[in-house]
Amino acid sequence: MSNVAPGAPSSDPSGHLLPAGEKGAANVAASPFSPRGEGARRADEGAPGATKIIRQDIRKHRPAKTGQARQLRRNETEEEYHLWSDLRARRLNGDKFARQVPLGPFIVDFLCREKRLVVEIDGFQHAESVTDQRRTKWLNANGYSVLRFWKQEISRERRSVLETILAALLGRLEFSSELPSFYSPAEQR
């Protein structure tokens, strides 16, 4: 016999409190919540249908990356300066951009968080870079679209660069062979 007063709350085997008068494993099975850690334990054991997803929190503060981003902001290139003057303070269609933003293990040149759009300015060292391809895949896998422009495009054709960014913000831009510098999460699937 139990020493618990009738009508007092009790707990199930996992330690979760049950409403007054309810007991037993039958109520645990009917609960929409599983005991903490149960899904991860089943996935570790290789149970069928159990998947263990480990996602890195891309918003997590990384002091080394923050310091590196600050340094990049202080030492911006001329092209970054000119493009930033057009993107800052919601000057392009009212969309807010940030520059040199730590995002996961990377630092992106420009980011519109609301539209999940990354704009990168590339120099000659980025031509056919395997690192950039991995970076783009990672960003796409985390729901970000990536637009890449060459430095000379910013210098010589800034208006068309801004029009391209605006088209991406408005959802009017799709990947094509004529525009191989736009990568959206949809193309990666």
Looking at residue 75, its pLDDT comes to 87
Q: Which residue has the tokens 């391209």?
A: 164
Looking at residue 60, its pLDDT comes to 59
pLDDT tens string 55-88: 556 555 667 778 878 888 888 999 999 999 999 9
- CATH class of the 63-188 domain in this structure: alpha beta
Say which amino acid occupies 116.
R
This model's pTM is above 0.75 = no
Q: Is the pLDDT of residue 182 over 70?
A: yes
Domain coordinates of the chain in residue numbers?
Answer: 1-54, 63-188
- Range name among 37-46, 126-135, 144-153 with the lowest pLDDT average: 37-46
